[in-house]
Chains A and B, each alone.
Chain A
């Protein structure tokens, strides 16, 4: 019998819907409230819940800091890459309309990729902040230090 069994089961049940909701916010951002930043934060909050319940070591096993920082850079690179793709095709920075022969389809592709980059960068940055922040406190606080 494990400690806090109900909380463990509730967290296990909650994490997949949170991830799914983050993806919904990510891909529905064109039509409703949402977008890359919000989706990234919600996506990271699922991992933070996992880290809270199962401990920092388990979170480091699932989302190691080395992979998280690479994803951070990959999201930034995706954004910059889409931005300069507009420049490379003779337009301006983040000129999505030129990504396809049809300007409307090009704008859809461009905003999708840019939001994906923002989401990746934000989610991994939040995870990195949580991991560094959680690992920072190494000694116990006494009652007077609160």
Chain B
């Protein structure tokens, strides 16, 4: 049963990778990376129970937090171009044109 879960999660990861490489816009790719991270968390959790080591859940939790922060960092880089600016206000340099898709 758990092995079937591992296989289906691996299949979903392959689909996320396909979207990552094909994705027409930057945001599709960011979303694919974020989803891939979620699938990695699921895989770690299932794998932990498959091998009888629930300690793996700690690693999955840490991965979830790092995944959240890295997604915000990439989106901020794409939207603001500057890492110092607070996100409490819109980007100061709104004259920058949106990036080309792809």
Contact = CB atoms under 8 A, between A and B. Distances in A.
Interface stretch (B9-17, B29-37, B53-61): B53-61
Given A2-B88, A134-B83, A140-B93, A52 B61 contact: no
A42 B65 contact: yes
Contacts of A3: 87-90
A18 B67 CA distance: 12
Contacts of B66: 45
Contact of B69 (A34, A38, A52): A52
Given A33-B59, A53-B87, A56-B83, A7 B69 contact: no
Interface residues of B, number: 27
Contacts of B88: 2-4, 8, 53-55
A134 B77 CA distance: 11
Contacts, number: 79
B21 to A, nearest CB: 18
Contacts of B81: 140-141
A25 interface: yes
A52 B82 contact: no
A143 interface: yes
Interface string B65-97: 110110011001000011111111110010011
Contacts of A93: none
A41 to B, nearest CB: 9
Contacts of B89: 2-3
Contacts of A73: none
Interface of A: 2-4, 7-8, 11, 14, 17-18, 21, 24-25, 28, 32-34, 38, 42, 45, 48-49, 52-58, 134-135, 137, 140-141, 143
